[in-house]
Structure 1
């Protein structure tokens, strides 16, 4: 920590998947077809130039944002936390800020190993809110930054240290991202039979962003052209190949200590490729169907067809599903994703 910060609690330094030069800490998944209907996944970190975008894409999973709430009922404990935070503020490690999140006090916690701060909130304006709220972006902060936040800052701010956070905090929001490097959103038809298509954004007739699920619901999926977003934010990319990002926002997720055992939140999401027209359907007709389905929903588009055509296009959608799209297989990488983000139980202990 910076000069003036107690140093009797060192921060771990044996880190992997660091956040370096703007690269997020994430878990990279390699998928290759090993047999009919079977996929083989292994964690690896190949160079971007080694990706073969004509077949299986490189798939990476990361955590974009996490919000934690910690209930504190004791007035004495609340006072102790407040006193520590004010001392840290005077020393320059905590910078007060403004946020419309329902809390009276909001401040950024600065880190030595990352430029990305964490947002600490105290004293909620509503009785049902927990006393402490902590929000940060592991993908931007990196594993080393997350561990500094959990081990150094929480060690001083919370009476029970990082272990208190791990045992008692709840996940109020979690944004999980899956990146498909080598897949352009223009060539996809994402859909779910269990989520309402709440909106989409197109430019020059091509899909750029798709929303599944209401923003007011506990779960919403946003699918968009990641390269377009990077260019808009003036972020350089290491590769010219397209990239599609799938973000799943989960609210009221439950106890933090159960995070590693979460079920697959992407399980209902299905995918068709516009370039993979089944032999029974003309490519131009398949693209027309997918374009209409992207603007409404596959169900609404199918409803406009006569029974025979409806059956044929339903079968075509199943045939156009790529072999590598198995959310169940991809989700097996979740424990490694948590580890890369510094959010495994071991990351909460010195």
Structure 2
């Protein structure tokens, strides 16, 4: 039933219902949140609602029930593909639970934006907040204890060096794939050290290489960018290349492929290379990139589901509770090592 317009063209509100029923607007609010009224007042409110065609919206429902229907999503560097997918998953889970997800963005390196974001969330009527994939700097500088609403952290927990779960990390799939092709000497084009995911991918690489008895040629560190992959490869100018290169992101792998192509080094005939993340565009690299596809949307869904379910409040899952999951996608950038062809 649609709202009936008032003589002035406006839609009815709880105040117009109260006026029609001859009761206070607080009495109407009590009725809307399910409280039982005195029989006479109950009848008056119900009759007024029917006559006016009043139907309360989500905002009125929040005010009446004192149960907010909005969840805040605190995000960083959302221009990148992976954070966008995490955010999309969070929005989906919020919708499924009867909530609306509202994005609140803070800029990495800008402490004032952290403070502003926290103030904004405290002023809003939120059921809770999910903090999606923050770098270390954010957690160090933000006073999350000042949040006046429940919150859950969505970030990979620390994976200690040599931890058995390192062998279950998605990046371990890439190392095992290359080892199965006969490769024995490995190098990691790593991600940033100030992101838990960057450190964990390095831990998974070194642990898996050690467990399989392979040669560890070391690792580089840098941003999740193609430029980082390109510059990191410069260290091999005039040096013998490993036959297996594992990149911590598909974009890093893209930069490495460009460096190899410029020098006429054939992939995968001379060097096999893998990526990580499963970017759609990686299927169109030259050659098409073998990668480990990650369901980033599932991360966002898990965070919202944990918040709604009251899990990990004020923190995030432990390493034993976290789901390290990925799918190896084999393409043309990897092949059998030259020695076993």
Task: Give TM-score scaled by structure 2 length.
Answer: 0.28
Q: Which has the higher Rg, Structure 1 or Structure 2?
A: 2
TM-score scaled by length of structure 1 = 0.27
